[in-house]
Structure 1
Amino acid sequence: MVRSRRSRRGGMESFYRLCSISYRIFGRGVNRNDLSGLSLSLKRARINIPADLYLSLSRLAGALFALFGAILGVLLIYALFPASGDIFLILLTVLSGSVTATFFYLLTVRAFMAYPVFRANTRRILIDKGLLHAINYLYAMSKGGMSLIDAFNSLKKHEAVYGESAKEIGYIARDVEYFGLDLRSALMRGSKNTPSEKMRDFLEGLISVMNTGGSLEDYFSLKSRQYQDLAEGENSTFLEVLSVLAETYVTLFVAAPLFLITIIIVLGMLKSGTLLILSAVVYIIIPLGTSLFILLLDTITTRTDEEAPSFVRIKRLNVFDNVRLVERESEGIIPALKRYEQIERIKFFLHSPFRFFIEKPSRCFYVTLPLASAYLLSILQPAWEIPDGFDRNLFYTALILLIPYSILFEIRAKRIREIDGVVPEFLRRLKTLNETGLNLVECIRVIIRSNLGVLTSELLRVARSIEWGSTLEDAFQKLEVRVKTGALSRAITLLVDADRATGNLRDVLAVAASNAEIAQRLRERRRAAMSIYLLIVYITFAVFLVTIYILTTKFLGSMPEIPIKGAERFLSSDYNLKAYERVLFHGSLLQGFFSGIVGGQMSSGNPYSGIKHAVLMMIAAFLVFELVIWG
């Protein structure tokens, strides 16, 4: 604990010292009148550094990289022209060092200038993603009778649930609570500094309502419906974009590689060296191009099996970082608590090993990775040489790693979908029972007698926790930690805050049930529309395998081995059929793996859900070669 504080304090002191040095060297030459754009970008990116100081840091970093570039340019000339003493080489060395130094300096400064814009754009996407849920939370709190600033303060505590939107609202609450601004001025500052146009529109409308004395409840209701309609429109636009991307994927990453492979194989009969080109297509172009396409998909898609964050960010004041700390014997309780936590984790694993892996599927690699390593070592021993057919062993190793993870991930994802599917019904029943005069605890006891699918057992544990002395808030928070789905986390957060702060649950439950139904309908509509693209990916991969089968059996298989008497003038002397077939085998496996990831990304917005499709396609490619082509 003490060491970590000292390391953080040392890091901050080093950063402040670096800022001081950069400002003393480059700060005086900064024109502060031209920094309004950079200052606004830093504020929207929430980088808490003054613009002139940030520009000084960029110039200092640029100077350091320029020095590195100059050395690199000089070494490059000496490597190309070892001779020395020639005046031409001296001038060329100076020119090379100057050019590379200028290039590295400009590149570094430009990267520093682009970073706030990039981070602001990232924040804009995250704010827009959670804005509708944040507005629904404010609407429910205002309908329950909570004041606006209290609703802001309540929302900012749930950044882990409502994301960057809650964080943006938290800056407004901070300006009021700590900086002494009135709420209207804080809203105006927040409207200016937010990178999201939607958030700016929401805040400016809120200012207008406050100026005219309008109803905040009606305004939140209006904005909630407006952004719900906008979300449905964006969903239709997204599906149109996804259809274009699906056609792009088929053209660029299935048809184009097949075209290149066919041409390379034909040219390989007439010219040597084409095997290297084919290897570049299979081992570099297909993996790299498809990986970039997956990254593009990940930036524009949202996950239909949303999982809530399994962490809570703990913020700490650093006012006393420069105060020297003395370690005492009583602080030895920290390591003891860490050991206790490790022991409890081991007990949990021994008591429920399957649930231990389901909660975090990546834990299966603790078991499968040693097994896969042991399998590979057993293949390489005792001669420690790569045997023939080692690519098959690598394929089996990949299956050992991927199959358990994909099974556990799908069980987890299916559970999330089932829970999110019954959350609207759960809230509707809560609303109906609450209208009869029952409180939340009594409503839970009634609901557990009915069937809510996978959520019934979890609600039963909530009722038992309350019977054993836990408060409703503690029992709900434990449920949120166990389940970790986005829809349920938002519902629980809303119910707990409304029960604690307003007491008017009837209107809050009505808002929560309505919003959960709309969100579930949007998820189901998107999931149904995106599933067609998974079918497209399977069809294109099947076409890929059929084409490879025709090339290897009907074309390559009919080609005689070299040398052939009288054919030396027309056929390449290094045309190795076995090598070509082996590269095509590897290409089919790689295409199957990346096609599966693309299918998962298109169908659910989550690349990890594509691992099961990747495994199926890789097995299909393996069986085609083993049983059909080579069999």
Structure 2
Amino acid sequence: MSSFSYAIAGQLAKRLSRRAGVFKDIYYTAGFSEPFDAYLSRCITAYLFTAPAVTITAFVLHSLILRYPPLFSAILTFLLLIIYSLLFLAFVLYYPVYRRYARGLKIDSRIPYTISYFAALAAAGMGIEALMERIAEVEDVKEVAREFALFLTDVKVLGFDVLTALERRSRMSPSIMLSLFFAGLRDTYITVGNLYEYAAFMARRLMELKRYTLRSVLNSISMVAEVYITLMVAAPLMFVTMLAIMGMLGGTIAGFPPQLIILILLIVGIPTSAIAVLLMLDGILSRV
């Protein structure tokens, strides 16, 4: 698929890649294994194949099924094609940003413990390359292990020196915490060279930040629990009781019978509220 799409849109992808700017850096910090040009060529090829299908389907729907005049069908088809193009472009641009953000969250939730282990190994007098290699081997979270393995790739495969490799990892890490750690590790390596003192200091600070984050998460979960009780228990009970009384008295609300509003509340309102609460919990727990 990659070779096929690159053969179709490779030249256009190269021209767009030279103008990508910051987005290209975001792409490489998102953890993709394929080059940026290959990603662009795949997206362009997908659009070239799907856009005609969307256009033909929309025109057939408007002209043959809905029986609109040909000119009106063409205008509606063109508008739908514009909407599809904008949505496709938004997905192409947003997906690497979302993936970078997700990787950063995974790294941030794990990095205090990783740096603590780094400090314990540094206390034994291990060199920086041996430290990186050991952490890349034993780290359970693959996103963290990948960042340390990339340092080894820069040094052993690409031939960069330790300082340049640390600067590259600091610049290309999706996690602000890990980026700061690599930047500080580079400065420590240049100046005093005591990796243990620096790693222990960073571990203590990140553990304090972790405890603060956990307290914040607990407070947020308590707030979500109160919202859940209000939306899922108290509010439906109150509204159903009020609407049932209005139904017995023969009243209406904006011309709709209370029985219909109760049905909408039970079928649409309560499930929607439950989904909203689940999304809130997912957003809060993703920081842990």
TM-score normalised to structure 2 length = 0.87
Q: Sequence identity of aligned pairs in percent?
A: 26
The aligned residue for residue 151 of structure 2 is: 172
Equivalent-residue separation in structure 2 for 1:227 and 1:51 (angstroms): 33
Counterpart mapping for 1:238-317 below 5 A: 238-269=217-248, 270=250, 274-301=258-285
Distance verdict in 2 for CA 1:93–1:46, change over 3 Å:
same
Aligned partners of 1:277, 1:70: CA distance in 2, in Å?
Answer: 39
- For residue 263 of structure 1, report the CA deviation from its aligned partner: 4.1
Residue 167 of structure 1, CA deviation? 2.1
Contact kept? 1:187, 1:207, Cα under 8 Å: yes
Q: Any idea what the Cα deviations from partners look like across 1:534-561, whole Å, max 9, x if unmatched?
A: xxxxxxxxxxxxxxxxxxxxxxxxxxxx
Distance in 1 of aligned mates of 2:2 and 2:74: 34
8 Å CA contact 1:264, 1:274 repeated in 2 = yes
Offset of 1:121 from its aligned partner? 0.3
Residue 141 (structure 1) aligned with residue 121 (structure 2): yes
Say yes or no: does 1:202 pair with 2:177: no
**Counterparts of 1:216 and 1:90 in 2: how far apart (Å)?**
73
Within the alignment, does 1:224 sit opposite 2:203 as a pair?
yes
Q: Which residue of 1 aligns with 2:10?
A: 23
Matches of 2:51 and 2:240, distance apart in 1: 43
Q: Which structure dedicates a bigger proportion of its chain to helix?
A: 2
Letter in structure 2 aligned against 1:187: L
Structure 2: which amino acid aligns with 1:287? P
1:70 pairs with 45, 51, 55, which one?
55
Q: Shift of residue 153 of structure 1?
A: 0.7
State the shift of 1:16 in Å: 2.2
Report the alpha carbon displacement of residue 163 of structure 1 after superposing the two structures with TM.
4.2
Which runs of structure 2 are paired with 1:451-600 in the superposition (5 Å)? none
Question: Given residue 159 of structure 2, which amino acid in structure 1 is its aligned partner?
Answer: G
Q: Deviations over 1:402-450 (max 9, x none)?
A: xxxxxxxxxxxxxxxxxxxxxxxxxxxxxxxxxxxxxxxxxxxxxxxxx
State whether residues 131 and 165 of structure 1, in contact with CA within 8 Å, keep that contact through their aligned partners in structure 2.
yes
Q: Hey, what's the Cα distance between the residues in 2 that align with 1:266 and 1:70? A: 52
**Is contact 1:42–1:49 with CA below 8 Å preserved after alignment?**
no
Structure 2 runs not aligned, ≥5 long: none
Using the TM superposition, give the Cα deviation of residue 274 of structure 1 relative to its aligned residue in structure 2, in angstroms.
4.5
Please state how far the C-alpha of 1:50 moved relative to its aligned partner. Answer: 3.3
Alpha-carbon distance in structure 2 between the residues aligned to 1:16 and 1:107: 25
Q: How does 1:428-467 map to 2 (within 5 A)?
A: none
CA contact (8 A) 1:65 1:108 kept: no
The 8 Å contact of residues 172 and 190 in structure 1, kept in 2 or not, is answered as yes
Structure 1 residue 59 and structure 2 residue 59: aligned? Answer: no
Q: Residue 114 of structure 1 is aligned with which of 67, 71, 94?
A: 94
Cα deviation, residue 212, structure 1 = 0.5
How many residues in Structure 1 have an aligned counterpart in Structure 2?
283
Q: What residue identity is the alignment partner of 2:4? A: R
8 Å Cα contact 2:105/2:286 also seen in 1: no
**Structure 1 match to 2:110:** 130
Is this contact kept in 1: 2:224–2:280, CA < 8 A? no
Q: Deviations over 1:329-363 (max 9, x none)?
A: xxxxxxxxxxxxxxxxxxxxxxxxxxxxxxxxxxx
- SS in structure 1 opposite 2:174? coil
Decide which of 16, 28, 39 is 1:43's aligned counterpart: 28
* Equivalent residue, structure 1, for 2:136: 156
Maintained 8 Å contact 1:39/1:51: yes
- Partner Cα distance (2:142, 2:283) in 1: 17
Displacement of 1:119: 0.3
State the Cα distance separating 1:187 from its structure 2 match: 0.7
Q: How far apart are the structure 2 equivalents of 1:279 and 1:94?
A: 40
User: Counterpart of 2:23 in structure 1: which amino acid?
Assistant: L
Secondary structure of the residue aligned to 1:206 is helix
Distance in 2, Cα, partners of 1:108 & 1:61: 10
For the pair shown, which has the larger CA radius of gyration, 1 or 2? 1
Deviates more, 1:55-64 or 1:217-226: 55-64
Shift of 1:110: 1.2
Tell me the secondary structure at the aligned position of residue 157 of structure 1: helix
Instruction: Name the aligned partner's letter for residue 266 of structure 2.
Output: V
Contact 2:59 2:77 in 1 (8 A): yes
Q: Map of 1:377-456 to 2, 5 A cutoff?
A: none
Taking a change above 3 Å as real, the CA distance of residues 241 and 59 of structure 1, as seen in their structure-2 partners, is: same
Q: Tell me the amino acid that sits aligned with residue 74 of structure 1.
A: F
- 1:313-332 equivalence runs, <5 A: none
8 Å contact 1:73–1:97 — kept in the other structure?
A: yes
**Which consecutive unaligned segments of at least 5 residues does structure 1 have?**
1-13, 84-88, 304-604, 606-631
Amino acid at match of 1:278: I
- Equivalent-residue separation in structure 2 for 1:302 and 1:27 (angstroms): 34
Residue type at the aligned position of 2:267? Y
Q: In the alignment, which of 67, 70, 73 is matched to residue 82 of structure 1?
A: 67
Q: What is the deviation of 1:148?
A: 1.5
Distance across 2 between alignment mates of 1:19 and 1:263: 63
- Matches of 2:143 and 2:285, distance apart in 1: 17
Please tell me whether residue 212 in structure 1 is matched to residue 191 in structure 2. Answer: yes
Separation of aligned partners in 1, 2:224 and 2:67: 51
In the aligned structure 2, how far is the partner of 1:158 from the partner of 1:145? Answer: 18
Q: Which residue of 2 aligns with 1:502?
A: none
The Cα of 1:250 is off from its aligned counterpart by 2.9
User: Using the alignment, how far apart are the partners of 2:273 and 2:40 within structure 1?
Assistant: 36
